[in-house]
Amino acid sequence: MKLTGVELRRIAMPLVSPFRTSFGTQTTRELLLLRVVTDEGEGWGECVAMSDPVYSPEYLDGAADVLRHHLIPALAAVGPLEAHIVAPALARFKGHRMAKGALEMGFLDAELRATGRSLARELGSVHDRVPCGVSVGIMDSVPQLLDAVDGYLDEGYARIKLKIEPGWDVEPVRAVRERFGDTVLLQVDANTAYTLGDARHLARLDPFDLVLIEQPLDEEDVLGHADLARQITTPVCLDESITSAQTAAAAIRLGACQIVNVKPGRVGGYLEARRIHDLCVAHGVPVWCGGMLETGLGRAANVALAALPGFTLPGDTSASGRYYATDITEPFVLEDGHLQVPTGPGLGVEPLRDELAAVTVSTEWVPA
């Protein structure tokens, strides 16, 4: 395919309720969508960077800038392209994995649409539907948390993940266990809020039979995670620390994690995410698909990825209604705790014109 140009579309999606984590509270999800136009058709990519560099060094204005001035011109200079050579063609630019991943996603969608193949089939999916978990933000009170968890279990979610931080950890977990019992799949996510000095405190979570504790320490503290894993019995899962198959291999070798959360945007795209999946399968390490409050475009791609055989734990591939009253695609709806894997060409979904226009903040055409 020959690149014609890329439309950068900034959107703002109101959340159905505030979503609080250890690094802040979101009421609106701002996102950058990429419409990748080629001589054989077009495809959509979604950049999952946040408005501010609080989850990762990347942020939306920076992603737009590096796409505009470096990544898109670099691909335009290559000539005819296939999706699998996008990452090598951009490798000389350091970092910016979320921006690169969005561009690769757009090429993948365009390429697969042109040939009538689905992303799920291309990645190697083996399931036609995937079990879904839900991420529950930090609440103002334990009763409020219990009401929220009760509602998600009534909806049929297969797993509950509680966001935690110092001062909101042991007691909320105990309350959920006491209220809903030991059969609920329950895990916690710290988003780097602790240090190794908190190991004895985090060990107080061990009696609650959690599936895992996700990213308790700083993303660069891989050795600290290895030390922590020897001091607690709850399995340690890495999220922010995993930026590539190479970093995943190092973390596994060091004993820093027993489980890996794969977020395609964080690792540079769905092809690198598949490589991490393959690596983890080879080492007997379970993986699951994380979420970044994606629109239906990113959700469709995540569901396709989560249908690979190594994704043995429910991911954060929640229904559209978990975050958005109105999505920009046909909504993903929970059915018996699962979401259907799209089977149409490319992502298998497309933006709805009116819904997309309603949330669009700005558009910019970047010619090749």
What is the tens place of the pLDDT at every residue in 245-263?
999 999 999 999 999 999 9
pTM (global) more than 0.85: yes
Which position among 2, 94, 100, 163 bears the catalytic label?
163
Q: Output the domain CATH number for residue 272.
A: 3.20.20.120
Residue 35's pLDDT band (boundaries 50, 70, 90)? very high
**Would you state the pLDDT for residue 25?**
86
User: How many percent of the chain have pLDDT more than 70?
Assistant: 100
On whether both 86 and 201 belong to a single domain, the answer is no
Q: Compute, in degrees rounded to 10, the torsion defined by CA atoms 32, 352, 36, 126.
A: 90
Please report whether residue 251 resides in a domain. yes
pLDDT above 80: residue 22: no
Q: Which residues contact 322 (CB under 8 A, 6 or more apart)?
A: 16, 134
User: How many percent of the chain have pLDDT more than 90?
Assistant: 95
Instruction: Specify the number of domains making up the chain.
Output: 2
Domain range for residue 180? 121-340
On whether both 105 and 151 belong to a single domain, the answer is no
**Would you state the pLDDT for residue 221?**
97
What is the tens place of the pLDDT at every residue in 161-198?
999 999 999 999 999 999 999 999 999 999 999 999 99
Q: Output the domain CATH number for residue 362.
A: 3.30.390.10
Which position among 2, 94, 100, 263 bears the catalytic label?
263
Residue 361's pLDDT band (boundaries 50, 70, 90)? very high
Q: Hey, which bits of the chain come out as E strands?
A: 3-21, 24-38, 41-47, 129-131, 133-136, 159-163, 186-189, 213-214, 236-238, 259-262, 287-289, 338-340, 360-367
Please report whether residue 176 resides in a domain. yes
Q: How far apart are CA 20 and CA 356, in angstroms?
A: 25
Residue 21's pLDDT band (boundaries 50, 70, 90)? confident
244 SS3 class: coil
- Determine whether 61 is exposed, middle or buried from the number of CB atoms within 10 Å of its CB (0-12, 13-18, 19+): middle
On whether both 198 and 63 belong to a single domain, the answer is no
On whether both 136 and 212 belong to a single domain, the answer is yes
**Would you state the pLDDT for residue 137?**
93
- Determine whether 16 is exposed, middle or buried from the number of CB atoms within 10 Å of its CB (0-12, 13-18, 19+): exposed
Closest Cα partner for 1 from 118, 119, 104? 104
As a whole number, the mean pLDDT across the chain is 96
**Would you state the pLDDT for residue 300?**
98
**Would you state the pLDDT for residue 42?**
97
What is the tens place of the pLDDT at every residue in 269-307?
999 999 999 999 999 999 999 999 999 999 999 999 999
Sheet holding 3-21, edge to edge: 41-47, 24-38, 3-21, 360-367
- Report residue 54 as tokens: 């609080």
On whether both 335 and 247 belong to a single domain, the answer is yes
CB 326 within 8 A of CB 302: no
On whether both 326 and 198 belong to a single domain, the answer is yes
Mean pLDDT to the nearest integer, 59-75: 97
CB 288 within 8 A of CB 263: no
- Decide if 161 is catalytic: no
On whether both 137 and 164 belong to a single domain, the answer is yes
pLDDT above 90: residue 18: no
CB 29 within 8 A of CB 292: no
Residue 23's pLDDT band (boundaries 50, 70, 90)? confident
**Would you state the pLDDT for residue 20?**
85
On whether both 14 and 146 belong to a single domain, the answer is no
What is the tens place of the pLDDT at every residue in 195-238?
999 999 999 999 999 999 999 999 999 999 999 999 999 999 99
- Decide if 2 is catalytic: no
